[in-house]
Structure 1
Amino acid sequence: MAIIVKINKFPIEFEEALPILRKIEAAGFEAYFVGGSVRDTILGREIHDVDIATSAYPEEVKQIFDRTVDTGIQHGTVMVLDHGNGYEVTTFRTESTYQDYRRPDEVTFVRSLEEDLKRRDFTINALALSENGEITDLFSGLDDMKNHLIRAVGVPDERFNEDALRMMRAIRFSSQLDFDIEPETEGAIDRHAHLLEKIAIERIHEEFVKMMMGVRPNLGLNKMIEMGLAKHVPDFKDQETALKQLSQLPLTGLDEIQIWALFAFGFKYDQARINKFMRNWKSSNQLTEEVSKTALLLNEVAEGQAGNLELYKAGETAVVAADHLAQILSLPIEPDKLASKYKQLQIKTKRDLAISAKDLITNKVLTPGPQLGQVLNNLEQSVVENKLNNNYVELLTAAKSIKGEGSN
Structure 2
Amino acid sequence: MTLLNIDIDYLAKTLRSLLEVPSPTGYTDELARFVSKELERLGVFYEVTRRGAIRARLDGAKSKPARAFVAHLDTLGAQVKTLKENGRLELVPIGHWSARFAEGARTTIFSESGAYTGTILPLKASGHTFNEGIDNLPVGWDYVELRVDAYSKSADDLHRLGIDIGDIVAIDPAPEFLENGFIVSRHLDNKAGVAVMLAALKAMVESETKPTVDIFWLFTIAEETGHGATSILTPDIASLVAIDNGTSAPGQNSDEFGVTIAMADQTGPFDYHLTRKMAQLCRDNEIKFQKDVFRYYRSDAASAIEAGADVRTALITFGIDASHGYERIHMHALRSLAELCTGYALSPVEIKRDAREFAGMKGFTTQPTEDADQDLSPETEEPGAEAS
Is the structural similarity TM-score above 0.5? Answer: no
Higher relative contact order (CA 8 A, sep 6+): 2
Of Structure 1 and Structure 2, which has the larger fraction of its residues in strand?
Answer: 2
Q: TM-score range by the shorter chain?
A: under 0.3
The TM-score normalised by the length of structure 2 is 0.25
Of Structure 1 and Structure 2, which has the larger fraction of its residues in helix?
Answer: 1
Instruction: Specify the structure having the higher radius of gyration (Cα).
Output: 1
The TM-score normalised by the length of structure 1 is 0.24
